Amino acid sequence: VSEGFAAMDMEPAVLVAAVIVILSIVFLVSMRGGGGGKPRGAKFLNKSRQTVTLGERTNISHDTVRFRFVLPDATPVLGLPVGKHFKLFAPAPKGVVDGQWNGRDDPEDGEKEIERKYTPTTSDDEVGYVDLVIKVYKGGVIDRFPDGGKMSQYMDSLKVGDTMDIQGPIGMHEYLGAGRFKSGSKELACKRLGMMAGGTGITPMLQVMAAILKDPSDKTQISLLYANQTESDILVRDMLDELAAKHASRLKVHYTLDRPPAGWKFSSGFITEEMISEHLPPPADDTLVLMCGPPPMIKFACIANLDKLGYSKKSYVAF
């Protein structure tokens, strides 16, 4: 991912140590209620390295855990602008084979710790905590990936009361509201927002999507094209479908799978020109396309096809 915005460990193939950050129940309640007032309190993130404490962990499924990290009373607001992310740090593990991780040379071999960038979907409307829902990639489940995911397995070992170091905000992109984005030194504006995500790349899309949909004054139209390998790999599908049903005039969601099941009603295969033409807004001065996913997908399936369809380079951003 070009800017490191995706919430993934960047391990080989499907066994990235990925963070799947989803909206908390409190956030969904605020969405159903049309938003909420701005919280009061000092902001926690200040670009320096700090510590958060695990206050609660809940098993969502056999391989997914929600972690609630508690923020200090003195700084109860996370302070993460929409579109930004933060880093978490953990001790560096050793692979099954010395100097390797999942059968390849480990670029972090010899390091004392690892760090990964994550994009939460919880916003500053949630005071006193930040929720991360992690899909744990355990070693030994697939023969080709004997080591699994580094960060996800470390987080799975955490117990309530344990701490992690965090640093942020970081990142080049920020959603300013009302269809306006800041990307580096540039400000971009749109009325129609296309999104293409692959796997864990849904995380920053959810963050921006949630900010738009909970603001009734934000009239930005959103279209999401979400690619995965199998139907079971579709992350937070229930939430996406619920949001699409609730905000039918503002959000359209379409899926494509490499290996679809029988009777699959959506698209099959990699993202194509035809999929983009059918499911994303056409190229125009008021159209912007956001992308997040594995680098090959971004390069060959997203950018290459956007260029073929006549989207200007200033009209798309890779997170």
- Is 150 labelled a binding residue? yes
Q: Which of 85, 190, 220, 316 is catalytic?
A: 85
- Please confirm, yes or no, whether 292 is among the known catalytic residues: yes
- Is 137 labelled a binding residue? no
- What does residue 296 show for φ and ψ, rounded to 5 degrees? -60, -35
Segment 2-24 shows an average pLDDT of 40
Distance (Å, whole) CA 197 – CA 294: 9
Domain 25-170 has CATH 3.40.190.10: no
CA 36 to chain centre: 23
Segment 152-171 shows an average pLDDT of 97
Strands 186-189 and 316-318: unpaired
User: 253-310: per-residue pLDDT in tens?
Assistant: 999 999 999 999 999 999 999 999 999 999 999 999 999 999 999 999 999 999 999 9
- Is 116 labelled a binding residue? yes
Segment 97-104 shows an average pLDDT of 96
- Is 1 labelled a binding residue? no
15 pLDDT more than 70? no
Phi-psi sector, 142: left (phi>0), alpha (psi -120 to 50), beta: beta
- What does residue 82 show for φ and ψ, rounded to 5 degrees? -65, 125
- Is 38 labelled a binding residue? no
248 pLDDT more than 60? yes
Considering Cα of 30, then 221, then 227, then 9, what sign does the dihedral take? negative
User: 230-247: per-residue pLDDT in tens?
Assistant: 998 888 888 899 999 999
User: Taking the domains of the chain in order of start, what are their residue ranges?
Assistant: 25-170, 173-318
Question: Given 3.30.750.24, 3.50.50.60, 3.40.50.80, 3.40.1280.10, which CATH number is that of 173-318?
Answer: 3.40.50.80
Phi-psi sector, 76: left (phi>0), alpha (psi -120 to 50), beta: alpha
Order of all β-strands in the sheet with 85-91: 113-118, 85-91, 163-170, 49-61, 64-70, 129-135
46 pLDDT more than 50? yes
Give the C-alpha distances (Å, rounded to integers) separating 21 from 65, 134, 275: 10, 7, 26
- Is 152 labelled a binding residue? yes
Strands 251-257 and 267-268: parallel
- Of the listed ranges 78-87, 132-141, 185-194, the one predicted with least confidence: 132-141
Segment 181-202 shows an average pLDDT of 94
- Over pLDDT 90: what percentage of the chain? 72
Q: In the prediction, which pLDDT does 18 show?
A: 44
Tokens for 63, please give them. Answer: 């391989």
Q: In the prediction, which pLDDT does 10 show?
A: 42
6 pLDDT more than 50? no
Which residue in this structure is represented by tokens 């699409």? 244
Distance (Å, whole) CA 252 – CA 280: 9
Distance (Å, whole) CA 27 – CA 210: 9
In this prediction the pTM is 0.81
Q: Which of 118, 175, 226, 316 is catalytic?
A: 118
Q: Which of 122, 200, 292, 311 is catalytic?
A: 292
Q: Which of 119, 200, 256, 287 is catalytic?
A: 119
CA-wise closest residue to 90 among 111, 104, 65, 67: 111
Share in percent of the chain as helix, strand, coil (round to 5)? 20, 30, 45
Query: What is the secondary structure of 246-307 as a DSSP string?
Result: HTTTTEEEEEEESSPPTT--SEESS--HHHHHHHSPPS-TTEEEEEES-HHIIIIIIIHHHH
Task: Assess whether the region 25-170 and the region 173-318 belong to the same CATH fold.
Answer: no
90 pLDDT more than 60? yes
- Please confirm, yes or no, whether 137 is among the known catalytic residues: no
- Is 58 labelled a binding residue? no
Give the residue with greater pLDDT, 66 vs 212: 212
- Is 118 labelled a binding residue? yes
Longest dimension (CA), the chain: 55
Give the C-alpha distances (Å, rounded to integers) separating 115 from 147, 151, 303: 17, 8, 28
Q: Which residues make Cβ contacts (< 8 Å) with residue 152, sequence separation at least 6?
A: 9, 17, 18, 19, 134, 135, 136, 137
Q: In the prediction, which pLDDT does 40 show?
A: 58
222 pLDDT more than 60? yes
Q: In the prediction, which pLDDT does 131 show?
A: 87
Segment 133-143 shows an average pLDDT of 86
